[in-house]
Amino acid sequence: MSAYPSASLKPAAADAASASAPGADAACAAPLPVLGRDVTVPLVTGGEVGYAALDYAASAPALQRVWDDVAAYAPYYGSVHRGAGYLSQLSTDLFEQSRTTVAEFLDCRAADQVVFTRSTTDSLNLLAAALPAGCQVFVFETEHHASLLPWVNARVTYLDAPRTPDEAVATLERALADREPYGPALVCVTGASNVTGELWPVRELAAAAHAHGARIVLDAAQLVPHHPVSVQDLDVDWIAFSGHKLYAPFGSGVLAGRADWLQDAEPYLAGGGASRKVARREDGGVDVEWHTTAARHEAGSPNVIGVYAIASACRALTEAGFDTLVAREQELIVRVREGLAEIPAVRVLSLFGDRAPRVGVISFVVDGWNSSHFAAALSAEYGIGVRDGLFCAHPLVRTLLGSEPQAQGECGAPDTAPGERSLNAIRVSFGAGTPDEHVERFVRAVRELVADGAKWQYRTEEGRCVPAV
């Protein structure tokens, strides 16, 4: 069967989506239009303003292109792999073509498997469940909890936060050299920090892992939306990421890489789709023959819409050209960092220093402000959405803020035990859907709040800082 029953279901052209963007003038235009670009929100000081979504590191808005593709497919939705009807066959084709699209986007090896999951967290938990017996895992304390916590059933060595890329490689090499010489080992590392945005030396870490007989999995949740990623060039064994970071927030993720550990492991979920043959035994039990393909770990009815959305986002980013997207994002990074550097009360958090390459993720603290209070004022008084807290990377943020307690009892201050410090930070993040005006408004808002204070009173409600009414 052909992939599409009619021209109406063919993927939308990227340039057509761009042309449909309302108000896409030179001051506001972004390379790739996203949903919500024309949403307005009320301000506590009166009136409304266009919402500045600057929390891409948590969930990026859907690309207009992705939404159009999903809307075109939705009437043709059907069950995947197990239906004889036309729509089921169509959906199966779409699902498997999406697998090919993702493999090409990641430049996978010919024998690699692409397994569709729910998220980066789900992908890494799947891999953790597939580890061979006796596997030793090495992970830096700087990881997001999604890549820090899944290895509870393995022997885990946690590595201290490095202060330079070279130190990261040296730290890993020492740890691997001290491990038992036999038995499987896995290194888990991020591609770009969800706290500082800094790029990690993935290629060098992969070389160190392989030199010591270990494998490596790359948490690319914050990398794939911002940079081209080649499994072969980086020489990683697996890569994990989420659709909702890649402008496709429809509940799907990816684990792509070597097939052997996945084929040898018990299915991540037991059920239909993962099983190839099931038969009753004479003793009353059940014999099961599991698939050896990616289906082994995709039990149940797949999220075909989420998978198709990821494939659509991969196509859109590829067609837009990463060189263009990266260059433009770097301009925004410079604009934000230079703007914050001009405000003495602001300190930007960093592991590797100001000169380190990075993506559009920047965390900071402001002298005299609790970060939750500051983030609430950005939202209520300027229509700017950022993130505050420890960003599901508690050890890293605590390392970066360990000597800088914030005021106890201030609006939104995190609960702490007696004698503990109240620690949280503010994170601004952006990408291919961010207009220039949003980052300009953000820098101006930070400057005004530091200079003049908040215009409104705030209170703590259920642990959050909110405008007082």
Strands 361-366 and 425-429: antiparallel
Residue 22 in contact with residue 37, Cβ under 8 Å? Answer: yes
β-strands 387-389, 425-429 pairing: antiparallel
SS3 content of the chain, % helix, strand, coil (to 5): 35, 20, 45
For residue 284, which amino acid is it? G
DSSP-based three-state secondary structure for 302: coil
Cα separation of 115 and 125, whole Å? 13
Give yes or no for a contact between 304 and 81, defined as CB atoms under 8 angstroms apart: no
Q: Is residue 273 within 8 Å of 81, Cβ to Cβ?
A: yes
Q: Rounded to an integer, what distance in angstroms lies between the CA atom of residue 403 and that of residue 406?
A: 10
49 burial (CB, 10 Å; 0-12 / 13-18 / 19+) is middle
Angle between helices 436-452 and 371-382 (to 10 degrees): 120
Q: Which of 188, 314, 392, 411 is catalytic?
A: 392
Give CA–CA dist 397/429, Å, rounded: 16
| Annotation marks residue 135 as catalytic | no
Question: Which has the closest alpha carbon to 14: 313, 353, 458?
Answer: 313
Which DSSP helix (H) or strand (E) runs through 114?
strand 113-117
Closest CA to 235 of 125, 100, 112: 112
Q: Is 198 helix (H, G, I), strand (E, B) or coil?
A: strand
Phi first, then psi: give them for residue 281, nearest 5 degrees. -95, 165
Q: How far apart are the C-alpha atoms of 379 and 122, rounded to whole Å?
A: 31
How many angstroms separate the CA atoms of 91 and 16, rounded?
25
432 vs 206: CA distance, rounded Å: 28
Other CB atoms within 10 Å distance of the CB of residue 379 = 21
Query: Running DSSP on this structure, what letter comes out for residue 227?
Result: S
User: Residue-wise over 65-92: b if at least 16 C-beta within 10 A, else e?
Assistant: bbbbbbebbeebbebbbeeeeeebbbbb
What gap in Å lies between CA 446 and CA 170, rounded to an integer?
A: 38
What are the catalytic residues? 392
